Structure 1
């Protein structure tokens, strides 16, 4: 049994992940900003920790991580938010969470990013999309420089389709989409394999069962 802290705990990926982890017998601490969502989180079997990652201090976040075995950063400003919030949530939220994990003595850190961010925004992209891509790219770069045992997952376009359990996971994949539930299942698998630390992988739907895809990605180096 592990104790896992989810930052952005009310997001769709995190709620799928919570269900998987709880079913596995793990303890889940779900960090989310809206107190009205407490009932949703507790109904999934997780411990609710109300904290707004955008305005929280490192010490605020550290309190949620005491005694944890791993942290998953899956927060995002979400659709409809402006360019400034992409920076304060997707970048600063990540860097504060990583710093809090280090201060709490938690070494394992899994981050949900986005496919293609190292390439930068497409020419002519609008201000909000540009800010999103740059925030995710910079958050990944900062995490790689940390002393944590990090894994970065970069899913393609997210859907609410039913999970297939079949994915393509590699340092680089073609562009594609993937159900959020399958992203959650990959995170759960990654958390069980310490060998996944130090890897950045693109993730889309594919033809390989998730356990085999993770094992193959590790073997590929």
Structure 2
């Protein structure tokens, strides 16, 4: 399966490229916005395509030839304002969904945010970010694509723990964070796991293996 990773140069994206490259079942293809990033991936023997989420749907679609699945893990970053958040995290995600649909790509996995499905759980200081994630997720769910929406808790740059808690909604847990590499492991296994099809869920560190947690959905 050829998997286009939109946001491949981000922290989760880079872990995901490595996970897919190592699992032997998928071929990661990086969607990045800078020439030097293309070269960086090609030096690691990973195919890369130059694109920009602020381009038109037709331009994004051109980067989706010979693709079987899309994983969207792009984001404007914490240093940008609400305007860029709406352009990338919302409109960029919507355009990626539209481009996938127009390309005949059915499988689409979205990295969202913990609690994005419920306004009562939104952080007031990050409201524009949650608005963007909320409506991007809704657009994907209404697209008729075979979607999975993963809503990770607070992201940490730690070594893999390899144990997770996955539920439609996590209301009580001792931990509300997760290493980025473990998010990538969940994305990798979710691609082919039918239990995740047409599902959205919260994700934090827990006590189950990734496979066991996904199979409980």
- TM-score, normalised to structure 2's length? 0.93
CA distance in 2, matches of 1:144, 1:198: 8
Residues 188-203 of structure 1 correspond to what in structure 2 (within 5 A)? 188-203=188-203
Q: Measure, in 2, the Cα distance between the counterparts of 1:195 and 1:59.
A: 32
Q: Contact 1:168 / 1:207 at 8 angstroms: preserved in 2?
A: yes
Of residues 143, 146, 151 in structure 2, which corresponds to 1:146? Answer: 143
The residue that corresponds to 1:45 in the other structure is 45
Match of 1:84 in 2: 83
Distance 1:124 1:210, change over 3 A: closer
| Distance (Å, rounded) in 1 between the aligned partners of 2:116 and 2:200 | 12
| CA–CA separation in structure 1 for the residues paired with 2:123 and 2:62 | 42
SS of the residue aligned with 1:28?
strand
Q: Is 2:162 the partner of 1:165?
A: yes
Gaps of 5+ in 1: none
SS of structure 2 residue aligned to 1:195 = helix
**Where do 5+ consecutive residues of structure 2 fail to align?**
none
* Separation (CA, whole Å) in 2 of partners of 1:5 and 1:122: 31
Contact persistence 1:22–1:45 (CA under 8 A): no
Q: Is the 8 A contact 1:112 1:153 kept in 2?
A: yes
Compute the displacement of 1:120 (Å). 2.5
State the 1:64 CA deviation: 1.7
Q: Distance in 1 between matches of 2:160 and 2:19?
A: 13
Paired residue total: 213
Identify the residue that residue 6 of structure 1 maps to in structure 2: 5
Contact 1:62–1:104 (Cα < 8 Å) also in 2? yes
Deviations 1:135-167 (A, max 9, x none): 000100111100200000000000010011100
- Match status 1:119 vs 2:110: no
Instruction: Give runs of ≥4 in structure 1 deviating > 6 Å.
Output: 121-124
Task: Give the TM-score normalised by structure 1.
Answer: 0.91
Per-residue deviation, 1:27: 1.7
Structure 2 SS opposite 1:118: coil
